[in-house]
Every structure is written in C-alpha cells, then in structure tokens.
Amino acid sequence: MMANMTSASDLPPLPTYELRPMPDLLPFISDFWLSILAPHIAYWAVSIFFHFIDVFDLFPQYRLHTPEEISQRNLASRWQVFRDVILEQIIQIATVAVLNLTEAQQMTGMEDYDVAVWATRIRLAQRSLPTILGVLGLNATSISKNMAASHPLLAGALAGGHYPFLTTQLDGVSGVQVPAFAMWELMAAKAIYWVIIPTFQCWLAVCFMDTWQYFWHRAMHVNKWMYTHWHARHHRLYVPYAYGALYNHPVEGFILDTLGAALAYKASFMTPRLGMYYFVGSMMKTVDDHCGYALPWDPLQRITSNNAAYHDIHHQSWGIKTNFSQPFFTIWDRWLGTRWEGDTKLKYERTRATAAAKKANGKPNGAPNGKANGAPNGKSSAIANGKPNGKPRQASKTQR
C-alpha cells in the first residue's frame, strides 16, 4: 500500500493504491500471445474479406483494376505471394515475441491515483488565473466574490482553485474532512489520462512510422542496389491485392515494416495493451492500402488521403517514382514534392485495354527478366527515369 504524500493542506489528498498484474484481455489466451497473433489474424481477416469480394466480383464499379490485369500484369503468382507473406509474418512473430520479453509485466490498480495526480496539476494550474486576469486588467478576487453564490465552481476557479466548500471524508472511520476535487477537475483529469495521452501516443507512433517508412521506401527506389536486391520484389505486383500487402523481400519487410513498427511503439512509450491495438490497426491499414478497391464506405480509406487509390499509383510504371508515403498520411510526399499530381484516368484505361488484349491473344504475362519497370538501373525503361507519360513536375525533383 502506498499512502498519499501531498503536503499542501489545501490540496485534496491522493488516494492510496495497490498494484496487481493486469488481467488478460481475453480469458482463453494470454496478452503475450494475443499481441503476437492478433495483428496477423487481422491481416488475414481483412485479406479474406477483400479476396471474397475480388473472386465473386461483388463491387466491380469500385475496382481499381480489372481481373484481366491481375492475371496479365503481375509478375508473381498468388502462391509466391502467399509463401513470402507467411515468411514475413514468421519473422514478425519472432520479433514481437522478443519485443514482448523486453517489457515488464503490465500492472493495474494505480489508475485512480494517476487521475488524481492530473487533477492536482489542474488545481495547481488554476493558481495562475488571478495573475493572468490581473495582466488583463481584471480583478479576479472581486469577480470571484460576485459569482460565489450563483456559480460557485467558476468562482473557485477564478479565485485560483480555491474551493473551501468541497470536502470529503479522509476515510470511513475517523470522520476527518479533507479537501476534495471538483467534478469538472476529475472529468478533465480522466479525459487527459484515458483519452488525450493515449491519443497523443498513437499520433506520435503514426508520425514516427510515416517518417521511417517514407525515407526508407524512397531510398529503396533511389538506391540501385537496394531496389534490385530488396524492393523490386514488392513491385512485381503491378496490380496490388489485399493479402499481397506484406509481399516483400524478408530484409525489406524487416527494416520497413517490422523494425519501423517496433521503434514507433518504443518511441511513443505506449503500454503493451495500447501497443497491441496500434499494431492491429496498422496491419489493417496496410492491407486496406493494397486491397485494390476504392470503396466509399470503407472507414480506413476515409480517415486520410493515403488509401488504396493513392498507393496504387505508386505500383504503376508511370507512378513508381511518386507517392512514397505510407501507411497513414501523405505529408512527406506533399512537403518533398513526390506526390502524384497528374491525371490518372487515361493511364488506367490504357492498362486495362492492354491487359484485355493480351488475354484475348493468349500472350503470357510479365517481363522476360521478371523485373518491375522503374528499377533504378541502366537497364530500366525510360518510364523509370521519369521521362514519359506525364511525369509530374514534383517527381522530377527526386532524380536531381
């Protein structure tokens, strides 16, 4: 048991607390294993959903590509994609297991104490109000007295957090009265502790992840060796589909996705429970960005402008040097001039027509060397160098 050590007599005492291990989120599996498996369960759940839509062609009006394009343009079979995704998920499972072992057991029982600490900070912050109002030429003491009868809580705040009428019993035995927090102070403290801080931690993790992936992703397109040996594999899918989201070279997958997510989790100081939610959400967003559908009712595609349609441009030969941002926001593309700004309608129509013609003529899919156009080497097509097809002005800056 830990007792309150507050020394200021006019401040409410902090409650005692007793720490105990946090119970598992689900009764049939420990949080250790749930945090390892949940992101991959989410990955395949969302992937199967979109695969079902794809196979039965349920929403053709929202397709980014036709079925003919999948069969004629992609350079990797669905089995190759599935195999490499499983390999990356095994690496991710091992990494998260190691990450979990570095975390102390999450405890509970201190929440009310932490909320009271924030309420105390709010009470102390009110002490600056008379000075602030004085700078503005207002007499806080006079205003507080005039409002004491009609608005006692507001009067107490204006008086510098002075609420002599708010008291509570220190315990249920002695009957000693001690100062108490106002309801609004406790509500504000709970909002800070339960909503604002976790939201800020998630925002920090998102910013870290976006920054990490943008610069590594862009480097893998600029650097000939990294593109040829690592990133070219992901671009064998000119027509992305949901479960191909993690179709990467194992080294790229570890650096870009696994390590980036782990460092984002550590840098944001998330709790293990919050980190699990973040990993699941990130995984679902990654799958959704490769789903191949622009669904107007898909919440993951409405949150930000970085969605399946945005990332699909990057998978095309004419957009491969643009739209590097992933998986959440597009701010780095906007700031550094790598966002695609041209029209895409005619380009998509052309690739659809070409794929349909190849299928009709019975021509095999893929390039003879099995490489994706846009590889930054001497043998790549002119498209990779940003010359034809209406290459946006912003993208040319990346080649300088």
For the cut 50, the answer to whether the pLDDT of residue 91 exceeds it is: yes
- pLDDT band with cut points at 50, 70 and 90 for residue 376: low
Residue 361 or 375, more confident: 361
Q: Please classify residue 147 by burial: count the beta carbons closer than 10 Å to its beta carbon, then call 0-12 exposed, 13-18 middle and 19+ buried.
A: middle
Domain ranges of the chain: 37-105+193-399, 108-181
- pLDDT band with cut points at 50, 70 and 90 for residue 267: very high
Res 388: pLDDT = 37
Cα dist from 255 to 92, 215, 226, 260, whole Å = 11, 12, 12, 7
Res 398: pLDDT = 37
Res 9: pLDDT = 64
Cα dist from 214 to 221, 322, 330, 370, whole Å = 11, 11, 9, 25
Residue 342 or 395, more confident: 342
For the cut 90, the answer to whether the pLDDT of residue 17 exceeds it is: yes
Res 6: pLDDT = 42
Give the number of C-alpha atoms closer than 13 A to the C-alpha of residue 207, restricted to the C-beta side: 8
Helix (H, G, I), strand (E, B) or coil at 221: helix
Residue type (1 letter), 381: S
What span, in angstroms and rounded, lies between the C-alpha atoms of 180 and 166? 5
In this predicted model, what pLDDT tens digit does every residue of 147-163 receive, in sequence order?
A: 888 899 999 999 889 89
299 and 219 in contact (C-beta within 8 Å)?
A: no
Cα dist from 314 to 8, 209, 253, 323, 367, whole Å = 60, 18, 17, 6, 18
What span, in angstroms and rounded, lies between the C-alpha atoms of 280 and 37? 9
In this predicted model, what pLDDT tens digit does every residue of 44-74 receive, in sequence order?
A: 999 999 999 999 999 999 999 999 998 899 9
Res 147: pLDDT = 87
Residue 277 or 144, more confident: 277
- Mean pLDDT for the chain overall: 87
**DSSP letters spanning 267-325:** HTT--HHHHHHHHHHHHHHHHHHTSSB--TT-HHHHSSS-SHHHHHHHTSTTTTTS---
Helix (H, G, I), strand (E, B) or coil at 354: helix
Range with the lowest mean pLDDT among 19-23, 187-191, 250-254, 372-376? 372-376
Average pLDDT over residues 369-391: 43
- pLDDT band with cut points at 50, 70 and 90 for residue 378: very low
- As beta bridge partners, residue 326 has none
Q: Tell me whether the omega of the peptide bond preceding residue 327 falls within 30 degrees of 0, making it cis.
A: yes
Show the CA angle centred on residue 333, arms to residues 328 and 336, nearest 5°. Answer: 145
**Best CA proximity match to 289, nearest among 281, 299, 300:** 300
Q: Which helix (H) or strand (E) holds 179?
A: strand 177-179
Range with the lowest mean pLDDT among 91-100, 160-169, 369-378? 369-378
- Is pTM, for the whole model, over 0.75? yes
Cα dist from 346 to 38, 229, 349, 366, whole Å = 41, 32, 5, 22
What span, in angstroms and rounded, lies between the C-alpha atoms of 278 and 39? 9
In this predicted model, what pLDDT tens digit does every residue of 73-87 receive, in sequence order?
A: 999 999 999 999 999
Res 93: pLDDT = 96
54 and 340 in contact (C-beta within 8 Å)?
A: no
What span, in angstroms and rounded, lies between the C-alpha atoms of 217 and 327? 11
Res 392: pLDDT = 44
Average pLDDT over residues 354-382: 60
What span, in angstroms and rounded, lies between the C-alpha atoms of 202 and 15? 29
What span, in angstroms and rounded, lies between the C-alpha atoms of 95 and 139? 60
Residue type (1 letter), 187: M
Give the number of C-alpha atoms closer than 13 A to the C-alpha of residue 193, restricted to the C-beta side: 19
